[in-house]
Amino acid sequence: MNSLMLNTDGVQIPQLGFGVFQVPDDEAERAVSAALQAGYRHIDTAMIYGNEEGVGRALRGSDVPREKLFITTKLWNSDHDRAERAFDESLARLGLDYVDLYLIHWPVPAQDKYVQAWQALRSIHADGRVKAVGVSNFTAEGLTRLMNETGVMPSINQIELHPYFQQREMRAFHEANGILTEAWSPLGQGKGLLADPALTVLSEKYHRTPAQIVLRWHLQLGNVVIPKSVTPARIKENISVFDFILDSEDMAAIGALNSNKRIGADPDTMNML
């Protein structure tokens, strides 16, 4: 498992993690347990997913030492003005003394409280209850505002990113400012991407599944990536991507798939509380 260095106190994040978006709480326990058995050490959840308790049960039921795990959770939109209390509530649901990464889930521009929330996350980090803090779904404008008003850039920005929506400008902005890029919906949420003929060709060439080809593309770009599955065989398949390399022509072929079309919400207009 590769790890990447965050811009915070030498903290390292496993480059490939396990996401639990839209996984019910009871299924999350089973899925996370299977992921830990398969070798995942980075688990990504959020308050709004409603499965922090299930994730916590899986962590406590595992024989993997806590210091070997990297746990991420997120601050929901309605909690921007009560971030420290919301963080404590997430810790209680997870049954943990600390988390490794805490993210502002969305900027919610109409509410305009994300700078206040960011200052609270920095306070939580200073108290030692989280090893690193970052954001999710932020634009370059939002990141720049955080820097201008607080003097501190997030360590990571988790954004929608897959071969059909490659976020090249955001990735370049992140790189220029020492921010890691983390991809959610890295496989395009099963909405046609994995059936793309270009990926079928590469799947046959490398004797890998289309999902493994896409995950390998993310890794070679330098993205942190968090695929989701509740199927044990697919959970194992998704982590089996460290023993082959896509050549430059094939990386370019996947790069040519970009259509700049989102699957999820636009951060500039996503204001749900």
49 counts as catalytic: yes
What region does 114 belong to: left with phi over 0, alpha with psi -120 to 50, or beta? Answer: alpha
Instruction: Burial-class residue 3 by CB neighbours within 10 Å (0-12, 13-18, 19+).
Output: middle
Q: How far apart are CA 103 and CA 94, in angstroms?
A: 15
User: How many CA within 13 A on the CB side of residue 106?
Assistant: 20
DSSP per-residue codes, 122-168 = HHHHHTTSEEEEEEES--HHHHHHHHHHHS---SEEEEE-BTTB--H
* Alpha-helical segments (H) within 9-107: 25-38, 52-61, 83-94
Residue of 49, 102, 114, 164 marked active site: 49
Cα(271)–Cα(273) distance, integer angstroms: 6
Phi, psi of 73 (to 5 degrees): -140, 180
Which string of b and e fits 16-39 if b means at least 16 CB within 10 Å? bbbbbeebebeebbebbbbbbebb
**Is the sign of the CA dihedral 97, 103, 106, 111 positive or negative?**
positive
| Backbone angles phi and psi of 43, in degrees to 5 | -120, 130
Instruction: Catalogue the active-site residues.
Output: 49
